[in-house]
Amino acid sequence: MGEVYWGGVAAVAILFALFLVVGWLASRKVRQGSASDMLVAGRNMPLWIATLTMTATWVDGDYLLGTVEGTRSSLASGIQGGLCFGISLMLGGIFFAKTMRRLEFTTLIDPFEVRFGKHWAAVLFVPAMLGEVIWSASLLVAIGATLAIVLGLDQATAILVSAIVVTTYTVIGGMWSVAWTDAIQLAMIPVGMLAALPFALPLVGGLEGCFAGYQEKLGLAAQLIPPIDSRDAYWTVPKSSAWWDLSVMLMLGGIPWNCYFQRVLSCQTPTKARWHSILASVLTIALTLPPLLLGMASLNLPWTAEQQALLHRQPSLTLPLILREMTPTIIGMLGMAAVVGAVTSSYSASILSAGGMFSWNVYRRLLAPQASPSAMQWAIRLSIAVWSLGAVVLALRVGSVQRLWFFCAELIFVLLFPQLLMALFDPKANRIGSITAFVVSLILRFGGGEPVFGLPAFIPYPELLASWLPGSPAEWYDNNGSVLLPVRILSATAGVILLPVVSRLTNRLDLPRELRKID
């Protein structure tokens, strides 16, 4: 950690004070702290605010830092997150948003409870909750690293202060406070990123020089989208397969998140719920461009040997280093504000989402069915604070938070996407089919190995499919022993097939339940 830049610290303090003021003002829209107002803004959120808060939630710190970092290795890796998340919002708006809002659900877990019962819904809550909390932790790590590099702050201090500020306004006003602060925070992102480009691009020969230098450095890795059956030196078939597997996961796995549906369910009408998601998808994809250009420029910026070594060890610090070393101080502060805004907007959404699911689907449904409105209000606020504390502990103590979050995102795709799809659109879906699909998908996913837990692949997918695969089976394993075949797609597809099939075979044992509004 270098010398603390106190002017920047003061700017961040003013920024956090602004967030608190806006959050407090917005909290006055909460009528008597009702659960509906706290969790889904009384279903009265205007289209434009819903669009901005949805975009701000998806364009997080990992989105900005990850786009810059990914672009350094390949253009397809850089564009993957923004493009796939944007497509995810588009698909969610077209196929899911209107139905969820029409049935006036309050959380993602509600359709599971209606179809499969409240006890099995509580099990399905677990991966949804883990995804939100671990995502929150990865966001705190992102803001801590950024403030440490740009301002010289201690990373733990930056994490604690950020969490306290965001948790405070989220607890006070729930969805209304989150939405209005999101609107402010989202405005910072294009301003901060675009302000850095006029200073970074001239250092690499302008826009034309940036493209030429990037192509020269990466060659075949500068392709926009890798071909499915490529055999070139960079996009080998196994590597291309893994890219498409991840991309499909991001596009479909981005739908079954409660933080997404909280915004859907906050909209004034089902039609507005659909359109807010579609409009947010366009903004999400468009906001990929500035960090993408900064990532391309970073390969040819005049870094010192020490800076090059740091970037080699921690490529995720590329954007903070650009803001600190390649732009004037005031521009660096604007860029830092963009990252801070992106992280805090997503963090508030995530802890509200986790707290909302627990208080609504576990506390209210299982632990205290007769809870008064006042008790629900305190349960929601306490849940938000507890899950935020859990995220802080993870951020401070666990070294590989981002990889752990990535694993949970995979589980949400593999386990919850089939469940949500069938709960909403298959009238014959039942609990036995849901349990079967869940268990089989989980086994198939873990069968491909998981480096987070040091779990090697125990289902030899490459060997089983050797006669259909190019190259030897050994080429289809990465350095950690995980399979490069599209195991995520396979696992989720198994769930999509098994849930309706088993449900129909067991209809006499477990009668299907009608999809309806929940009391």
- Give 79-97 pLDDT, tens digit per residue: 999 999 999 999 999 999 9
For residue 510, what pLDDT band results from cuts at 50, 70 and 90?
Answer: very high
pLDDT recorded at residue 175: 92
Give the single-character DSSP code of 236. -
Are 361 and 121 in contact by the 8 Å Cβ rule? The answer is yes
> How large a percentage of the chain has pLDDT more than 70?
96
pLDDT given for residue 401 in this prediction: 65
pLDDT at position 469 over 60: yes
Higher pLDDT, 225 or 491: 491
Its pTM stands at 0.93
Residue 32's pLDDT is: 60
Query: Is pLDDT at 280 greater than 90 in this prediction?
Result: yes
Would you tell me how many other CB atoms lie within 10 Å of the CB of residue 207?
Answer: 14
In a domain, 1, yes or no: no
Give the model confidence (pLDDT) of 329-365 as tens digits: 899 888 888 888 888 999 999 999 999 999 999 999 9
> Amino acid identity, residue 442?
L
**Angstrom distance (rounded) from CA 352 to CA 263:** 11
The length of the chain, given as a count of residues: 519
Question: Largest alpha-carbon pair distance within the chain?
Answer: 71
In a domain, 501, yes or no: yes
Residue 95 CA to residue 337 CA, distance in Å, equals 35
Q: Tell me what pLDDT residue 65 has.
A: 86
CA 408/CA 402 separation, integer angstroms: 10
In this structure, the number of other CB atoms found within 10 A of the CB of residue 397 comes to 9
Where residue 50 sits, what CATH number does that domain have? 1.20.1730.10
In this structure, are residues 129 and 59 in contact, taking their beta carbons and an 8 Å threshold?
Answer: no
φ, ψ dihedrals at 346, nearest 5°: -75, -35
436 near 500, Cβ under 8 Å? no
Rg for the chain, CA atoms, rounded: 23
For residue 497, the one-letter residue type is I
Q: Give the domain range for residue 317.
A: 6-505
Please indicate, yes or no, if residue 511 is contained in any of the structural domains. no
Average pLDDT over residues 430-454: 92
- Residue 517 is assigned to a structural domain of this protein: no
Residue 478's pLDDT band (cuts 50, 70, 90): confident
Confidence band for 8, pLDDT divided at 50, 70 and 90: confident
How many domains does the chain divide into?
A: 1
Contacts of 401 (CB under 8 A, 6+ apart): 134, 137, 138, 141, 394, 395
Tell me if 514 is assigned to some domain: no
Q: What's the pLDDT score for residue 231?
A: 55
Is 485 within the bounds of a domain? yes
CA distances from 418 to 102, 372, 422, 429, 504 (A): 21, 34, 6, 11, 16
**Nearest Cα residue to 249 out of 422, 497, 490:** 490
Q: Residue 234 has which token pair? A: 């960079």
Strands (DSSP E) along 328-400, which ranges? none
On the question of pLDDT at 227 being above 90, the answer is: no
At 132-164, the pLDDT tens digits run 998 999 889 888 887 887 788 888 998 999 999
Supply the mean pLDDT for the chain. 91
Q: Distance between CA atoms of 359 and 362, rounded to whole angstroms?
A: 6
Tell whether the model's pLDDT for residue 312 goes beyond 70: yes
236 within domain boundaries: yes
| pLDDT computed for residue 153 by the predictor | 83
For residue 230, pLDDT over 60 is answered with no
Question: Is 515 among the domain residues?
Answer: no
